[in-house]
Chain A
Amino acid sequence: MSATRNDATALVSAAPTPAAHTPFGLDGADTCVRMISPGGVFEPNAAAEQFLPYLDRLTEADHRRFYRDMVVVRKFDTEAANLQRQGQLALWVPSHGQEAAQVGSAYATRPQDHVFPSYREHVVGMIRGLDVVDILRMLRGVTLGGWVPEEHGNFHLYTLVLASQTLHSTGYAMGMQLDGSTATGNPETDQAVIVYYGDGASSQGDASEALVFAASYQTPQVFFLQNNHWAISVPVARQSRTPLYLRASGFGMPGTQIDGNDVLASFAVTAKSLDDARAGHGPSLIEALTYRVGAHTTADDPTKYRDPDELAYWVARDPIVRFRNYLQGRGIEQEFLDAVDEEAADFAADTRRRALDITGPEQSVIFDNVYAEPHPLVAEQKAWLDRYEASFDEGEN
């Protein structure tokens, strides 16, 4: 019998310290695709050049829609956080700061595409046709899901175990290949998948396995990684010592880093990546550099771990302010901007009213749909609970 060899408590050494966090990428890095400067001037950098033709797809109405959606979702996001503070939601997951990355990429999808979100992509759901009150149903604790993906723009359910959805999306994309729904040469019908995940989730094994499977089977798929720089309290430097888009080449697929607070960069790069995926050119990865301006969730307090100067740096690069400056530079009328603010306020107020009206569910949801086919144990327990609870009513009579 050998002695235990790892009980030398005196030998415990200090954990290595991660590199000091720097908000790398946004300013100055010419590998990071950017169309609009932080000040709101259209000045594409060299990395943006190959993506410029994709901007030709956008009309003036599209620009207005981008702006409108970013403003509306921020107001909604604030209202939802308020609802949580007032005890009306179990939790809220803010998207403040990430609007450009989400709006641009969502508009790059086509109706036939499938979208696998993480749990912070509220505006992506809106753009795909989801009623955001359905998102609130889940966070109010009346459902574990909330909507039927196929009836809401193929926007799949939120997934709360980080990176699990990356594998589901890859399997789904494999299915598109197997049933011949992609790479037929018709961009109007060819399908693709976009999956959202983040810098924290990028450390999960499932994210790596999804990239392996995607590259292996050359799935029609875009991995859209929102690097919002914080996984609750842990900075991205703890997750990765290399820019995350560079990981793509290790898996054998193209990787592109974008200024995630530039809605046009997000649109153009995602549009190209999805086009390539639909055309049979395989998967790719986009790293959108952005920032979680708010807390991770309403249960979090970022003042405990974040440098206020860093927050100020990113607030000064706000995606909505940037795009408004850009639109104003193009001569957008103030009336439009004012009308959007009004619409956003109405939307948030309406959301609040409808959130407070959310009711249900019946206790039978405990048992319904655990299995598709009859299951004696579940049936027995459902009948027992009904009898048990009915026995109280009988007692009152």
Chain B
Amino acid sequence: MTAATDTSVASASLPMTKALNAGLRRAMLDDPSVLLMGEDIGSLGGVFRVTEGLIAEFGDKRVLDTPLAESGIIGTAIGLAMRGFRPVCEIQFDGFVFPGFDQITSQLARMRNRHEGGLIMPVVIRIPYGGHIGSIEHHQESPEAYFAHTPGLRVVSPSNPHDAYWMMQEAITSNDPVIFFEPKSRYWPKGEVRFDESGTPLHASRVVRAGTDVTVVGHGAMVSVLSQAADLAQAEGISLEVIDLRSISPIDYAPILGSVQKTGRLVVTQEAPGFVSVGSEIAATVAERAFYTLEAPVLRVSGFDTPFPPAAVETHFLPSPDRVLEAVDRVLAY
């Protein structure tokens, strides 16, 4: 059996799966009330191996292989949290969260409010999400807007291994429920994880590449697409400022508004369908708050308003660097 990730070194080059594993392990070492729950997360280590080695280290009272029932996982996690535990639930794939949707939106998100502040709900729900992996139906979706729309939840998504390591620990120490979206297509590329350096605050967005002409915003796997787009644009003499949203609810608008002050142009991007989406919300808010600095309408580059298509055509559905640049060209044409 593969051991959990070693975090005693100053830094390491790790894929996001291992960084998440290290973050979970660190949180479990720091706080004995942290529990992991989910399908196949024990001896298998999860279908993506994010929890690999943790049952061997912490035992089956801290790492619970559950029956195959998402509402059951979330509903019992609520009870465990009421009892004083800090459950971290794994939903196996994005499209499988919906059997647990009622427990998340009607119960988990409101439990503290209903109790008039008398309890906390420190539950993390990990959801591998997004396309680019060529999989079958219900395995490539981006349902983050449903959760961002629900008061009482916090919603985040790391784009790289370093953030994944730190954001996981911050999510677990949060006293509010956190929906933690893990971009599957970024699970395997390695990145530097600095174990000795604390992370950016959980709900901070961040400029990951400075630029002057157009601001482009995205989260999760979109951040690497935006970086590729910025490289291509640079070759054409166009400078993109790339912002990694990191937090979907709440949204940290300061870096976005600061960037738009500079560029006057904004393109928001996401894999999810664009209608009533996170990108729509950002576009509306920036229009409200930065109207006089905008030189062009805020444009959205999204998945289409269709079910996620068969994988054979997913590259036509998912926003690519070229689709981002098409929107960049349009905002520059104003």
Contact between chains at A171 and B77 (CB < 8 Å) = yes
- Asked if A337 is at the interface (CB within 8 A of a chain B CB), the reply is no
Contact between chains at A164 and B75 (CB < 8 Å) = yes
> Which residues of the partner chain B approach A375 to less than 8 Å between Cβ atoms?
250
> If A172-B80, A213-B69 touch, does A167 touch B75 (CB 8 Å cutoff)?
yes
Contact between chains at A212 and B67 (CB < 8 Å) = yes
Contact between chains at B75 and A209 (CB < 8 Å) = yes
Determine how close the nearest CB of chain B comes to the CB of A22; give it in whole angstroms. 33
- Asked if B107 is at the interface (CB within 8 A of a chain A CB), the reply is yes
- Asked if A10 is at the interface (CB within 8 A of a chain B CB), the reply is no
Contact between chains at B174 and A373 (CB < 8 Å) = yes
> If A145-B116, A167-B79, A376-B250 touch, does A210 touch B72 (CB 8 Å cutoff)?
yes
- Return the contact of B152 from the options A159, A168, A173, A371 (Cβ within 8 A): A371
0 or 1 for each of B76-111: is its CB under 8 Å from A? (1 = yes): 111111111100000000000001001100110010
Complex formed: what's the CA distance from A268 to B113 in Å?
37
- Asked if A257 is at the interface (CB within 8 A of a chain B CB), the reply is no
Complex formed: what's the CA distance from A45 to B288 in Å?
74
The residues in A between 116 and 166 inclusive whose CB is less than 8 angstroms from any CB of B are 143-145, 148, 156-157, 159, 161, 164, 166
0 or 1 for each of B24-57: is its CB under 8 Å from A? (1 = yes): 0000000000010000000000000000000000
- Asked if A61 is at the interface (CB within 8 A of a chain B CB), the reply is no
Contact between chains at A164 and B152 (CB < 8 Å) = no
Complex formed: what's the CA distance from A62 to B112 in Å?
37
Complex formed: what's the CA distance from A282 to B55 in Å?
24
Determine how close the nearest CB of chain B comes to the CB of A139; give it in whole angstroms. 14
> Which residues of the partner chain B approach A175 to less than 8 Å between Cβ atoms?
79-80, 82-85
Of chain A, the residue at the smallest CB distance from B66 is A213
| B72, B113, B118, B174, most chain A CB atoms within 10 A | B72
> Which residues of the partner chain A approach B116 to less than 8 Å between Cβ atoms?
143-145, 365, 368-369
> If A168-B75, A372-B120 touch, does A161 touch B82 (CB 8 Å cutoff)?
no
> Which residues of the partner chain A approach B79 to less than 8 Å between Cβ atoms?
167-175
Contact between chains at B71 and A206 (CB < 8 Å) = yes
Contact between chains at B112 and A171 (CB < 8 Å) = no
| B61, B84, B102, B114, most chain A CB atoms within 10 A | B114
> Which residues of the partner chain B approach A157 to less than 8 Å between Cβ atoms?
114-115
> Which residues of the partner chain A approach B112 to less than 8 Å between Cβ atoms?
369-372
Contact between chains at B176 and A216 (CB < 8 Å) = no
Contact between chains at B83 and A209 (CB < 8 Å) = no
> Which residues of the partner chain A approach B66 to less than 8 Å between Cβ atoms?
213, 216
Of chain A, the residue at the smallest CB distance from B83 is A175
Complex formed: what's the CA distance from A365 to B72 in Å?
30
Complex formed: what's the CA distance from A216 to B68 in Å?
11
Complex formed: what's the CA distance from A175 to B62 in Å?
11
- Asked if A176 is at the interface (CB within 8 A of a chain B CB), the reply is yes
- Return the contact of A171 from the options B75, B117, B151, B154 (Cβ within 8 A): B75
> If A145-B116, A209-B72 touch, does A167 touch B103 (CB 8 Å cutoff)?
yes
> If A167-B76, A170-B76 touch, does A369 touch B107 (CB 8 Å cutoff)?
no
> Which residues of the partner chain A approach B67 to less than 8 Å between Cβ atoms?
209, 212-213, 216
0 or 1 for each of B145-179: is its CB under 8 Å from A? (1 = yes): 00000011010000000000000000000111000
Contact between chains at A205 and B152 (CB < 8 Å) = no
> Which residues of the partner chain B approach A371 to less than 8 Å between Cβ atoms?
112, 152, 154, 176
> If A167-B71, A175-B84, A216-B67 touch, does A144 touch B76 (CB 8 Å cutoff)?
no
Determine how close the nearest CB of chain A comes to the CB of B240; give it in whole angstroms. 27
- Asked if A178 is at the interface (CB within 8 A of a chain B CB), the reply is yes
Determine how close the nearest CB of chain A comes to the CB of B203; give it in whole angstroms. 8
- Asked if A179 is at the interface (CB within 8 A of a chain B CB), the reply is yes
> Which residues of the partner chain B approach A164 to less than 8 Å between Cβ atoms?
75, 102-103, 106-107
Determine how close the nearest CB of chain A comes to the CB of B323; give it in whole angstroms. 27
> If A168-B78, A213-B72 touch, does A377 touch B175 (CB 8 Å cutoff)?
no
Complex formed: what's the CA distance from A171 to B110 in Å?
17
Contact between chains at A209 and B117 (CB < 8 Å) = no
Contact between chains at B69 and A161 (CB < 8 Å) = no
Complex formed: what's the CA distance from A167 to B113 in Å?
19
- Return the contact of A161 from the options B78, B102, B174 (Cβ within 8 A): B102
> If A144-B114, A168-B82, A368-B117 touch, does A210 touch B75 (CB 8 Å cutoff)?
yes
Contact between chains at B152 and A370 (CB < 8 Å) = yes
| A205, A209, A375, most chain B CB atoms within 10 A | A209
> Which residues of the partner chain B approach A206 to less than 8 Å between Cβ atoms?
71-72, 75, 102-103
> If A161-B102, A372-B176 touch, does A145 touch B115 (CB 8 Å cutoff)?
yes
> Which residues of the partner chain A approach B75 to less than 8 Å between Cβ atoms?
164, 166-168, 170-171, 206, 209-210
Of chain B, the residue at the smallest CB distance from A166 is B75
Contact between chains at A167 and B117 (CB < 8 Å) = no
Determine how close the nearest CB of chain B comes to the CB of A384; give it in whole angstroms. 13
> Which residues of the partner chain B approach A161 to less than 8 Å between Cβ atoms?
102, 106-107
Of chain A, the residue at the smallest CB distance from B109 is A370
Of chain B, the residue at the smallest CB distance from A193 is B79
0 or 1 for each of B171-202: is its CB under 8 Å from A? (1 = yes): 00011100000000000000000000000000
> Which residues of the partner chain B approach A178 to less than 8 Å between Cβ atoms?
35, 61, 80, 85
Complex formed: what's the CA distance from A213 to B35 in Å?
16
> Which residues of the partner chain A approach B72 to less than 8 Å between Cβ atoms?
167, 170, 206, 209-210, 212-213
Contact between chains at A212 and B83 (CB < 8 Å) = no
Of chain B, the residue at the smallest CB distance from A145 is B114
The residues in A between 192 and 237 inclusive whose CB is less than 8 angstroms from any CB of B are 205-206, 209-210, 212-213, 216
Determine how close the nearest CB of chain A comes to the CB of B12; give it in whole angstroms. 30
Determine how close the nearest CB of chain A comes to the CB of B88; give it in whole angstroms. 14
Contact between chains at A209 and B84 (CB < 8 Å) = no
Complex formed: what's the CA distance from A178 to B66 in Å?
15
The residues in B between 5 and 22 inclusive whose CB is less than 8 angstroms from any CB of A are none
Of chain A, the residue at the smallest CB distance from B87 is A171
The residues in B between 122 and 163 inclusive whose CB is less than 8 angstroms from any CB of A are 151-152, 154
- Return the contact of B76 from the options A156, A213, A370 (Cβ within 8 A): A213
Of chain B, the residue at the smallest CB distance from A175 is B83
Contact between chains at A179 and B117 (CB < 8 Å) = no
Of chain A, the residue at the smallest CB distance from B107 is A164
Given contacts A164-B106, A173-B79, 12 further A-B contacts (CB under 8 A): A167-B74, A170-B75, A171-B76, A172-B80, A178-B85, A206-B103, A209-B71, A212-B72, A365-B116, A368-B117, A369-B117, A377-B250
- Pull 5 A–B residue pairs with CB atoms less than 8 Å apart, ordered by A: A168-B75, A172-B83, A213-B69, A368-B116, A372-B120
5 closest A-B pairs by CB: A171-B79, A167-B75, A175-B83, A171-B76, A209-B72
